[in-house]
C-alpha cells in the first residue's frame, strides 16, 4: 500500500505479473479498507471470503465496535454510558435518527408509537393457527411478515413522512406480537398494549397478565429489562442485521425485511445462543456441575458440543455487553432475592475457560448471550422466549440499518461465487445412463 499524497492511498494487487491499483478508504475510527467496487470490471477477478470474515458490506455511521479492544458505541456514545444512563426509547431514537432526542422529540416519538400500538384484530386469526408448542421465534417471524398484509404498501423511502410512519408502526406493533407469542403458548387471551404504561411495563404486562388479575411490574425487573434491551439494540453487520439489509436491498418492505432478520437471529450460533446457554448450564447442573467435563467436550474436535455463549466473530476480547450483563446479573438476583445455582455454574465455567489455553489461544471470551439468560430467568422470562427478547432489543438496530441502506440507495445485494462443479457435458438419454 502506498500513500500517493497526504489524502489518497492506493493498494496494488499483482496477479500473474499484472499490477492493478485500487483506492484505499479510511473510516472515522481509522479502519482501513481496500475499495474493490471495480475489481471484476478492472481485472476479471473476484475475491472469495466464506462468512465474510474479511469483507466489509457497507459504510455505516450507526454502530462502531472494536473487537480487539472490546469497544461498542451507538452513534458515538459508549454502550457503558447508554446502558447506565439512557432509556431504551432514547436509544431507539438515537440509533434510527442519529442524535439523542430532546425532551420534546422523545415525548412526540413516544406518543406516535403509542398511537400505532394496536394490532389489527385479524392478526389473532393468524396466531390462532399455531400450536401452543410452536417456538415463539417461528411465530414471531411469521406474524411480522403477516403485518405486511395489513400494511401492504412498501415504504416509499423518498418520502420522509412515509419512512417515519413505517418505522413508528414497526416499533409499535412488534413488541405486542412478540408478547403474543408467549400468550399463545400459555393459551391466554391476546391483549393490546396498555397505553398508560411505559415501554417495558406494558411489554411485561402483555406477556404475563392473567385474566382477572391486575399485573404490577417490579421496578427492578423494569430497570433490568431496559438495560438488556439497550445492550441488544445494535451490533453493526452481524448475521441478522446483514440479512435485514440484504432483504431490504431488493426493495422488499420493512416488515418483510425484519421478519427475515428474526429468522436469522433464531439460530443457536447467533441470537438463539442465549437459550442454548441456559440449556447448557442446566445440563451441567443436572450432570453434577463438573465444568471441566464440558470444557473438554468443547475442545474435542470430534465432539460437536460448543461452549454456548463463548466466542465471537469480532470480539477477541471481553464483549463489553457481557461485562455489563454479568454485573447486572449479580445485582438483579440479589435485589430480587433469587439464588440461582446456574449463576455459580456460569461463573465457574467462565473462570475455567479463561484459564484454559484452548480458549485463551483462540481468544474465546463470554459474549452477550452468556449471562443474559440468567437475568431473563430471574425476572420470569421463560427460556424459549429469550431470543424473542433479543429480537425486541435488536429491532431498532435492524430498522436503523435498513433505513441507512435504503436512504443510501445501495444496490441490490448479490454476491459472486467460484464455481467448482462439472464442466459442460452432453445430455444422456435415460436408456444410456
Ligand atoms: C451473537 O456477530 C455479532 O455481532 C453477533 C452478536 C450480535 O450482537 O448480533 O454479538 C450476537 O450472535 C453472539 C454469538 C452467540 N453465539 C454463541 O455463543 C455460539 C457459540 N459460539 C461459536 O459458535 C462461535 O464462537 C461463533 C459462531 C460466535 C463465532 O464463530 P466464528 O467466528 O466462525 O469462529 P470459528 O467457528 O471459526 O472458531 C474459531 C476457533 C475454532 O477452532 P479451530 O478450528 O481454530 O481449532 O474457535 C473455536 C472453533 O472450533 N470455537 C469454539 C467456540 N467458538 C469458537 N470452540 C468451542 N466453543 C465455542 N463456543
> Ligand 1 centre from 305 Cα, in Å?
12
User: Cell 414497526 belongs to which residue?
Assistant: 170
* Distance in angstroms between the alpha carbons of the first and the last residue of the chain: 55
Which long-range contacts does 26-34 make (Cβ < 8 Å, 24+ apart)?
Answer: 27/59, 29/64, 29/66
Would you state the pLDDT for residue 155? 79
Tell me the pLDDT of the chain (433 aa) as tens digits: 555 445 689 999 999 999 999 999 999 999 999 999 999 999 999 999 999 999 999 999 999 999 999 999 999 999 999 999 999 999 999 999 999 999 999 999 999 999 999 999 999 999 999 999 999 999 999 999 999 888 877 778 889 999 999 999 999 999 999 999 999 999 999 999 999 999 999 999 999 999 999 999 999 999 999 999 999 999 999 999 999 999 999 999 999 999 999 999 999 999 999 999 999 999 999 999 999 999 999 999 999 999 999 999 999 999 999 999 999 999 999 999 999 999 999 999 999 999 999 999 999 999 999 999 999 999 999 999 999 999 999 999 999 999 999 999 999 999 999 999 999 999 999 999 9
Cell numbers representing residue 31 in the block: 479502519
The answer to whether the CB of 390 falls within 8 A of the CB of 137 is no
Q: In terms of DSSP bridges, do strands 18-26 and 32-34 run parallel, antiparallel, or are they unpaired?
A: antiparallel
> Ligand 1 centre from 366 Cα, in Å?
10
| Nearest-CA residue for atom 14 of ligand 1 | 270
Would you state the pLDDT for residue 158? 86
Length of the chain measured in residues: 433
What is the spatial distance between Cα 201 and Cα 214, in angstroms, rounded to a whole number? 13
> Ligand 1 centre from 307 Cα, in Å?
9
Determine the distance from the C-alpha atom of residue 287 to the mean position of all C-alpha atoms in its chain, rounded to a whole number: 31
Would you state the pLDDT for residue 50? 97
Testing ligand 1's pocket by substitution, the residue of 54, 228, 311 carrying the most ligand atoms inside 8 A of its CB is 311
| Nearest-CA residue for atom 39 of ligand 1 | 362
> Ligand 1 centre from 276 Cα, in Å?
13
| Nearest-CA residue for atom 19 of ligand 1 | 269
Would you state the pLDDT for residue 2? 55
Testing ligand 1's pocket by substitution, the residue of 307, 312, 372 carrying the most ligand atoms inside 8 A of its CB is 312
What is the spatial distance between Cα 207 and Cα 268, in angstroms, rounded to a whole number? 23
The answer to whether the CB of 72 falls within 8 A of the CB of 320 is yes
| Nearest-CA residue for atom 22 of ligand 1 | 311
What is the spatial distance between Cα 142 and Cα 180, in angstroms, rounded to a whole number? 12
Of ligand 1's listed atoms, the one at least distance from the Cα of 298 is 57
User: Cell 389489527 belongs to which residue?
Assistant: 120
Cα Dmax for the chain: 79
Cell numbers representing residue 251 in the block: 426493495
Residues contacting 233, CB < 8 A, separation 6+: 74, 88, 91, 92, 95, 393, 394, 396, 397
Would you state the pLDDT for residue 1? 52
What is the spatial distance between Cα 369 and Cα 210, in angstroms, rounded to a whole number? 29
| Nearest-CA residue for atom 37 of ligand 1 | 313
**Buried residues in 286-296 as b, exposed as e (16+ CB within 10 A):** eeebebeebbe
| pTM attached to this predicted model | 0.96
The answer to whether the CB of 166 falls within 8 A of the CB of 113 is no
> Ligand 1 centre from 200 Cα, in Å?
31
Would you state the pLDDT for residue 149? 87
> Ligand 1 centre from 370 Cα, in Å?
12
Would you state the pLDDT for residue 8? 83
SS3 track for the chain? CEECCCCCEEEEEEECCEEEEEEEEECCCCCEEECCCCHHHHHCCCCCCHHHCCCCCCCCCCEEEECCCCEEEECCEEHHHHHHHCCHHHHHHHHHHCCCCCHHHHHHHHHHHHHCCCCCCCHHHHHHCCCCCCCHHHHHHHHHHHHHHHCCCCCCCCCHHHHHHHHHHHHHHHHHHHHHHHHHHCCCCCCCCCCCCCHHHHHHHHHHCCCCCCCCCCHHHHHHHHHHHHHCCCCCCCHHHHHHHHHHCCCCCHHHHHHHHHHHHHCCCCCCHHHHHHHHHHHHHHCCCCHHHHHHHHHCCCCCCCCCCECCCCCCCCCHHHHHHHHHHHHHHHHHCCCCHHHHHHHHHHHHHHCCHHHHHCCCCECHHHHHHHHHHHCCCCHHHHHHHHHHHHHHHHHHHHHHHHHCCCCCCCCCCCCCCCCCCCCCCHHHC
Using a 6 Å CB cutoff, which residues line ligand 1? Answer: 51, 235, 238, 269-271, 273, 298, 306-314, 362, 364, 367-369
List 107, 312, 319, 356, catalytic entry: 312
**Sign of the C-alpha dihedral, residues 343, 349, 353, 354?**
positive
Is 369 known to be catalytic?
A: yes
| φ, ψ at 152 (rounded to 5°) | -60, -30
| Nearest-CA residue for atom 8 of ligand 1 | 235
- 259 HSE (CA, 13 A, CB side): 17
Would you state the pLDDT for residue 69? 96
Is 270 known to be catalytic?
A: no
Amino acid at each position: 500500500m502506498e500513500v500517493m499524497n497526504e489524502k489518497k492511498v492506493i493498494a496494488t494487487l499483482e496477479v500473474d505479473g499484472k499490477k492493478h491499483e485500487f483506492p484505499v478508504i479510511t473510516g472515522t475510527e481509522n479502519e482501513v479498507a481496500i475499495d474493490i467496487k471495480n475489481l471484476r470490471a478492472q481485472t476479471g477477478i473476484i475475491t472469495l471470503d466464506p462468512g465474510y470474515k474479511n469483507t466489509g458490506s457497507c459504510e455505516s455511521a450507526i454502530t462502531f465496535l472494536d473487537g480487539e479492544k472490546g469497544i461498542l458505541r451507538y452513534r458515538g456514545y459508549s454502550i457503558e454510558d447508554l446502558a447506565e444512563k439512557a432509556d431504551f426509547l432514547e436509544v431507539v431514537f438515537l440509533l434510527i435518527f442519529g442524535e439523542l432526542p430532546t425532551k420534546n422529540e422523545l415525548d412526540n416519538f413516544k406518543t406516535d408509537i403509542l398511537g400505532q400500538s394496536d394490532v389489527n384484530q385479524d392478526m389473532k386469526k393468524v396466531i390462532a393457527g399455531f400450536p401452543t408448542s410452536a417456538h415463539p421465534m417461528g411465530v414471531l417471524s411469521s406474524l411480522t411478515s403477516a403485518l405486511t398484509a395489513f400494511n401492504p404498501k412498501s415504504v416509499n423511502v423518498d418520502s420522509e413522512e412515509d419512512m417515519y410512519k413505517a418505522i413508528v408502526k414497526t416499533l409499535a406493533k412488534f413488541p405486542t406480537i412478540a408478547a403474543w407469542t408467549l400468550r399463545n403458548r400459555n393459551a391466554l387471551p391476546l391483549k393490546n398494549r396498555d397505553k398508560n404504561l411505559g415501554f417495558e411495563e406494558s411489554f411485561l404486562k402483555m406477556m404475563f397478565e392473567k385474566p382477572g388479575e391486575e399485573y404490577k411490574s417490579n421496578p427492578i425487573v423494569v430497570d433490568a429489562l431496559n438495560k438488556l434491551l439497550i445492550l441488544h439494540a445494535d451490533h453493526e453487520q452481524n448475521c441478522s442485521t446483514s440479512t435485514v439489509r440484504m432483504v431490504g436491498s431488493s426493495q422488499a418492505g420493512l416488515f418483510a425485511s425484519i421478519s427475515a432478520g428474526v429468522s436469522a437471529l433464531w439460530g443457536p450460533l447467533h441470537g438463539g445462543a442465549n437459550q442454548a446457554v441456559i440449556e447448557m448450564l442446566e445440563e451441567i447442573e443436572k450432570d453434577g456441575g463438573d465444568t471441566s467435563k464440558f470444557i473438554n467436550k468443547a475442545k474435542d474436535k470430534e465432539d460437536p458440543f460448543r461452549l454456548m455463549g463463548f466466542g465471537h466473530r469480532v470480539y477477541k476480547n471481553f464483549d463489553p455487553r457481557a461485562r455489563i450483563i454479568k454485573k447486572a446479573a449479580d445485582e438483579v438476583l440479589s435485589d430480587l432475592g433469587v439464588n440461582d445455582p446456574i449463576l455459580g455454574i456460569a461463573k465457574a465455567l467462565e473462570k475455567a475457560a479463561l484459564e484454559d489455553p484452548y480458549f485463551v489461544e483462540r481468544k474465546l471470551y463470554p459474549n452477550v448471550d452468556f449471562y443474559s439468560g440468567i437475568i431473563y430467568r430471574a425476572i420470569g422470562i421463560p427460556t424459549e422466549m429469550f431470543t424473542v427478547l433479543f429480537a425486541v432489543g435488536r429491532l431498532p438496530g435492524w430498522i436503523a440499518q435498513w433505513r441507512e441502506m435504503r436512504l443510501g440507495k445501495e444496490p441490490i445485494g448479490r454476491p459472486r461465487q467460484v464455481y467448482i462443479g462439472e464442466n459442460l457435458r452432453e445430455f444422456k438419454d435415460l436408456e444410456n445412463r
